[in-house]
């Protein structure tokens, strides 16, 4: 089996003056790994200037509180298995030693589960927190594959772009994934889902929201609360799929440009701080 290429390494996040609420953010003993989803990236840069981050304000805020924060850059459209192997190689080659707390958005949560369960990485992971991860797949992925596969897949193949990631988010594949990927008893699992109301003022989510809602009810625009729920603890946050990682959105009251995401993440880190490995 051919090994997938190693991801580009992104180690510590530089400290920058950011937030007046820093005293509220816990400093964890273990490093934090932020894992992006499908079509994701770590940072978009122009020279030394960062134009866009997948976790805007989050990585910097956690680092400013004294946490070690790592962000891998995985294949944007690769399969769960390939992305999981890339994540493993990233962690094992990092100069920041684990074990780690992983906070993963969307497909990144499935990559992390696979890595922990299938690639012998359980001893390197203390906890996995998933944000809007389709643990049981997404009806929108089913719809999209049926409708556009004949056009999109040949184009991606011609360009040498992996397409297996789209198929791995289908409901039947995720059902088999759940059966074949058991949780590790030494790892703490918890999850967050998004609860969003579709609006004609925000048309980008109208189609996927209604497709998912008709099959599974309340959702974040692409992943239902039912599918996002996983592990020992679950909480629903108001907002769409990208509000979970603080993306700005025009006409999105849940995603204003000035919103500070750290209050939500403070709550997550406070929970992680209560784990035995953090209290020893």
Cα–Cα distances (Å) from 55 to 12, 36, 97, 261, in that order, read 14, 8, 22, 10
User: Does a structural domain hold residue 238?
Assistant: yes
Domain count, the chain: 1
Q: How far apart are CA 232 and CA 190, in angstroms?
A: 5
In a domain, 128, yes or no: yes
Residue 10 included in any domain: no
- In this structure, is residue 191 part of a structural domain? yes
What pLDDT is attached to residue 234?
Answer: 96
Ranges of residues in the chain whose predicted pLDDT is under 70: 1-23, 40-52, 151-163, 202, 247-259, 280
- The per-residue pLDDT for 12 is 41
> Hey, how many other C-beta atoms are within 10 angstroms of the C-beta on 260?
15
* 6 domain residue, yes or no: no
Q: What is the pLDDT of residue 17?
A: 36
**Domain coverage including residue 77:** 22-273
Q: Is residue 182 part of a domain?
A: yes
Flag whether 206 is in a domain.
Answer: yes
Identify the CATH number of the domain in which residue 40 sits: 3.40.50.1820
Q: pTM for the whole thing? A: 0.84
Answer positive or negative: Cα dihedral of 265, 267, 273, 274: negative
* Residue 2 belongs to a domain: no
């Amino acid at each position: 089996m051919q090994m997938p290429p190693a991801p580009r390494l992104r180690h510590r996040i530089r400290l920058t003056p950011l937030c007046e609420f820093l005293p509220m953010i816990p400093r964890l003993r273990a490093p934090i790994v932020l894992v992006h989803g499908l079509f994701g990236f770590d940072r978009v840069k122009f020279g030394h200037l960062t134009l866009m981050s997948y976790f805007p304000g989050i990585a910097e805020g956690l680092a400013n509180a004294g946490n070690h924060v790592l962000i891998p850059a995985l294949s944007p459209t690769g399969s769960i298995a390939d992305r999981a192997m890339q994540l493993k190689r990233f962690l094992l080659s990092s100069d920041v030693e684990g074990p780690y707390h992983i906070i993963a958005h969307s497909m990144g949560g499935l990559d992390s589960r696979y890595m922990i369960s299938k690639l012998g990485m359980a001893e390197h992971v203390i906890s996995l927190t998933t944000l809007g991860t389709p643990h049981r797949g997404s009806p929108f992925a089913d719809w999209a594959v049926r409708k556009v596969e004949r056009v999109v897949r040949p184009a991606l193949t011609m360009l040498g772009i992996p397409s297996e990631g789209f198929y791995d988010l289908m409901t039947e594949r995720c059902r088999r994934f759940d059966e074949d990927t058991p949780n590790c008893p030494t790892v703490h699992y918890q999850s967050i889902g998004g609860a969003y109301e579709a609006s004609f003022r925000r048309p980008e989510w109208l189609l996927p929201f209604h497709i998912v809602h008709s099959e599974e009810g309340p959702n974040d625009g692409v992943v239902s609360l039912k599918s996002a729920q996983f592990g020992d603890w679950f909480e629903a946050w108001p907002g769409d799929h990208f509000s979970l990682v603080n993306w700005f959105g025009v006409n999105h009251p849940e995603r204003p440009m000035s919103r500070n995401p750290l209050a939500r993440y403070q709550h997550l880190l406070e929970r992680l701080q209560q784990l035995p490995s953090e209290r020893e």
